[in-house]
Structure 1
Amino acid sequence: MDKQLPFDIRDIMKLLPHRYPFLLVDRVIAHEPGQSITAIKNVTYNEQFFVGHFPELPTFPGVLMLEALAQASGIIAALKSGLRPDGGMVLYFAGIDNARFKRPVVPGDQLTLMSTLDKQKRDLWKFSAKAMVGNELACEAELLCVLKDTSKAA
Structure 2
Amino acid sequence: MTDRIGGDTKRRYISLGSQTTMRFLPQSYPFILLDRVKACYPEEGVCHSVKHITMTDPVLSGHFPGFPIYPGVLIIEAMVQNAGMTATLRELYQTHGSLEGLLEQFRSAVGTTPAEGKQYVLAESRIKNVQPIFPGCAVDLEARLQMARDGMYVFKVCAQVDGADVARGQLTMAEVPVTMAPGMLDQIGSN
Which amino acid counterpart does residue 143 of structure 1 have in structure 2?
Answer: L
Q: Distance in 1 between matches of 2:118 and 2:40?
A: 22
Residue 26 of structure 1 pairs with residue 35 of structure 2: yes
Q: Distance in 2 between matches of 1:7 and 1:151?
A: 26
Please give the residue correspondences for 1:109-128 in structure 2 after superposition, counting only pairs within 5 Å.
109-128=137-156
Which amino acid counterpart does residue 18 of structure 1 have in structure 2?
Answer: Q
**Unmatched 5+ stretches in structure 1:** none
Q: What is the RMSD computed on CA atoms of the aligned residues?
A: 1.9
Task: Please name the residue that 1:65 is paired with.
Answer: 75
Q: Find the partner of 2:172 among 131, 136, 144.
A: 144
Residue 100 of structure 1 pairs with residue 109 of structure 2: no
Change (3 A) 1:75 1:46: same
Higher helix share: 2
Question: Secondary structure of the equivalent of 1:24?
Answer: coil
Which amino acid counterpart does residue 53 of structure 2 have in structure 1?
Answer: V
Q: Distance in 2 between matches of 1:80 and 1:57?
A: 40
Q: Distance in 2 between matches of 1:39 and 1:144?
A: 18
Calculate the TM-score normalised by the size of structure 2: 0.74
Offset at residue 14 of structure 1 (A): 2.5
Task: Please name the residue that 1:13 is paired with.
Answer: 22
Higher relative contact order (CA 8 A, sep 6+): 1
Calculate the TM-score normalised by the size of structure 1: 0.90
Q: Percent identity?
A: 28
Any conservation in 2 of the 1:29–1:39 contact (CA below 8 Å)?
Answer: yes
Q: Distance in 1 between matches of 2:149 and 2:42?
A: 17
**Unmatched 5+ stretches in structure 2:** 6-13, 96-112, 184-191
Change (3 A) 1:30 1:86: closer
